[in-house]
Chains A and B, each alone.
Chain A
Amino acid sequence: MDVLDLSRWQFGITTVYHFLFVPLTIGLSVVVAGLQTAWYRTKKPEYLRLTKFWGRLFLINFAMGVVTGIVQEFQFGMNWSDYSRFVGDVFGAPLAMEGLVAFFLESTFLGLWIFGWDKLSPRLHLATIWLAAIGTSLSAYFILAANSWMQHPVGYRVVNGRAELTDIWAVLTNSTTLVTFPHVLFGAFLTAGAFVLGISAWFLLRGRDVAVFRTSARLALVVGLVAGIGASFSGHWQAQIMTEQQPMKMAAAEALWEDETSAGFSLFAIGDVENGRNHVNVQIPYGLSFLATNTFDGKVQGINDIQARYEAAYGPGDYRPVVGLAYWSFRLMIGFGGLSALLALAGLWLTRRGRLPSGRWCYRIAIAGIALPFVANSLGWIFTEMGRQPWTVFGLMSTASAVSPGVDVTEVAITLVGFTLVYAVLAFIEVRLLLKYIKLGAEERSEPESPVPALSY
């Protein structure tokens, strides 16, 4: 493995890991803010208990998102210095805005929320959690604007071998950003929904604090279903934009080798990358044309044809991403995300009008279902980033030319191993802490044993 491979592995591992925490932070912050709003309005003590219970889990998760986020900002410069030189003028702007607008907001007001229970008026205290929640979503917006520019560069010109910003509004209102942002947010709410549902199911299964956790389970089911529907619609728009802007990614996602009209949506294919064809391909007729163009007979470009076009446009080279990876990550993302939404739908039916299902398996499925959106989110990012290869900035800069020229293999190997080990240990600690705080439950506790209230550092 050379510096490029190791740097890519490091970016992949640290980013996917970071994004395990981010969607839960985004989704759960709004759930907690919503519960606290319910308590503020109704003064029902169970809402306060729920706010504190989910708030504790939210904070355990938030901490991991914060500390792994610092690495993200640093490694553009550390491992991708030529990328940073080339794009800094454009890419740095949304990144700096993310810090100034979003990070300050979420971290400052979260500090106020955690320690401000008895220092701020209830109204002001409620405002702090909402501001923190808004901060987390704003952060997603800016970083997605930066990422979308890599998928579909706009508002720039290339001067002296580097991209120069010419229109910040074009970057902030990039069509790719506008469809990706809702998709990521819906994904985040799907994640929070599955998380809250699964943990509530754990309590319901044990018959512990049933009334309260039935409430949070119902809330989670509604959030999950709405998010699931939202994610599928936004994903549909995203697919259309992707087909237009990055046809190779769409073609790889579908293992579609030749240009086709009335293309089918592939469910299962065994491909032959070498010869550019499929051995087996089970399809939903017209599905892909509809997904990609909104018409049943729309034309969708195929890998072999795009490869020929790109060679004509960008010079000789292999412009195909790893087709198998793009194909499976795309379908499994849809599969896992869709399954999570279906669980929410089934759950809403099973818990209608005050009911609770008696089968223990229902609750076990809900607990296992926590994993679904996490896997879907990760696959979504793997798809969108790997599907863009060999480009790091589509059409402008290849990944191979983006890596730091001055960093050697030993250095990257040290950091790759170092981050991976530390992250693995932290994952272990985080899960143990979450389990501990779940088991403690949402019962009102007097907290004299600990010198500091539980909801604090």
Chain B
Amino acid sequence: MELTTIWFLLIAVLWTGYFVLEGFDFGVGILLPFLGRTPGERATVVKTIGPVWDGNEVWLLVAGGATFAAFPEWYATLFSGFYLPLFLILLALIVRGVALEYRNKSDSPKGWDRAFFWGSLGPALLWGVAFANIVRGVPLDAAHEYTGNLFTLLNPFALLGGVATLLLFTLHGAVFLALRTTGELRERATRAARTLAPLTVLVVLGFLVAARSGTVSWAAVAVAAAGMAVALVATLRGRDGWAFTGSALGIAAFVATLFTSMWPNVMPALDPANSLTVTNAASGPYTLTVMTWVAAICTPVVLGYQAWTYWVFRKRLTGAN
């Protein structure tokens, strides 16, 4: 396999890791005001992601860093072109991170919980908007500079993508909370998952069918559908572990649909001649070789200790705590 292909796949994997892991963090933040009715319950809801959210967020940093190293042109065009949406995402992530760390250290967690909610909802929506635009193609000039503005990015298709990720992550969060809590909290989370699932399936599949292109992506769409169906059925039967596996699979297939549809572009332009591809956006073969070794050695180790962390904190948390 060509190195550029490997790195295209690796970056897809990093985004998958980010969305599967931070996806439920976002969902937990969005559901917090609805599911946690007492201060104790809210503390428990936050505690479900307490030990892991920061490690989850690193997937984003590594996705960003890997894009910089492997596809500098992509990194440069994407980050400067999506300037204001990324600024909003950054502000949201800052506010959310501080809220998570400080809510229990402050006299009243109320304001922090509001910040946590908005700081989760914003990125959950905006990542979908960003990826919908990437897949659909944006105006780029011959120098690969983005020539649109903020409102170019806020087209109906992109907003649909935003709603899709928002729903998908919220559902994922509900399923995660059902898996990680007991008693009333778990019941409420299950109820939320049941209520959200049909609409999520509809919107996500609608978006993916509109976004996809090429034959391989059909397989990914099918897996996404299957994953969400498993999440729903397993939730109805009280099989929380399977439900979580299903929604995680749904998110992975969501990312796979987008990436298989883009290939071999990494950032299609409205004028195809100006598109960024795995070839014209890539670093030299030497850098890609070095980074392949680094990734091959480090990624399994990281996966190992992150998985171990989830194992250590596998015990369900009770509402009263």
Contact = CB atoms under 8 A, between A and B. Distances in A.
B203 to A, nearest CB: 28
B51 A101 contact: no
Interface of B: 39-40, 43-44, 46-47, 50-55, 57-58, 60-62, 64-73, 75-81, 83-84, 86-87, 90-91, 93-95, 97-98, 100-106, 143, 145-147, 283-284, 286-287, 290-291, 294-295, 298-299, 302, 305-306, 309, 312-313, 320-321
Nearest to B303: A104
B293 to A, nearest CB: 9
Nearest to B68: A92
Given A108-B305, A415-B84, A429-B98, 14 more contacts: A66-B57, A76-B79, A77-B68, A81-B79, A92-B69, A93-B294, A98-B65, A108-B306, A108-B309, A111-B51, A115-B50, A120-B312, A450-B104, A452-B321
B101 A84 contact: no
Interface residues of A, number: 75
A93 B94 contact: no
Contacts of B70: 92, 96
A298 to B, nearest CB: 38
Can you list the 9 inter-chain pairs with the closest CB atoms, starting with the nearest? Answer: A88-B72, A77-B79, A92-B69, A63-B101, A92-B68, A81-B80, A99-B62, A96-B65, A81-B76
A81 B276 CA distance: 15
A107 B55 contact: yes
A116 interface: yes
Given A70-B94, A74-B86, A88 B75 contact: yes
B132 to A, nearest CB: 20
A71 B94 contact: yes
> Which applies to chain B's interface (DSSP): helix, strand, loop or mixed?
helix
B295 A100 contact: yes
Contacts of A95: 65, 68-69
A74 B69 CA distance: 13
Interface string A77-118: 111011011011111110111111101100111111011100
Contacts of A456: 47, 50, 104
B88 to A, nearest CB: 9
Contacts of B81: 406
24 contacts: A63-B98, A67-B94, A70-B57, A71-B90, A73-B68, A77-B76, A84-B68, A84-B72, A88-B72, A96-B291, A100-B302, A103-B62, A104-B55, A108-B54, A108-B302, A109-B305, A115-B51, A120-B312, A168-B290, A404-B80, A414-B84, A415-B87, A451-B39, A454-B105
A260 B145 CA distance: 47
A126 interface: no
Given A74-B64, A92-B69, A452-B104, A107 B80 contact: no
Contacts of B298: 100-101, 104
A418 interface: yes
Residue from A97, A100, A112 having most chain B Cβ neighbours under 10 A: A100
B61 A73 contact: yes
A280 interface: no
A399 interface: no
B73 A85 contact: yes
Contacts of A164: 283-284, 286-287
A411 interface: yes
A166 B286 contact: yes
Given A63-B98, A63-B101, A115-B51, A89 B72 contact: yes
Contacts of A422: 91, 94-95
A68 interface: yes
A390 B198 CA distance: 58
B283 A88 contact: yes
A138 to B, nearest CB: 12
Contacts of A70: 57, 60-61, 90, 93-94
A103 B58 contact: yes
A314 interface: no
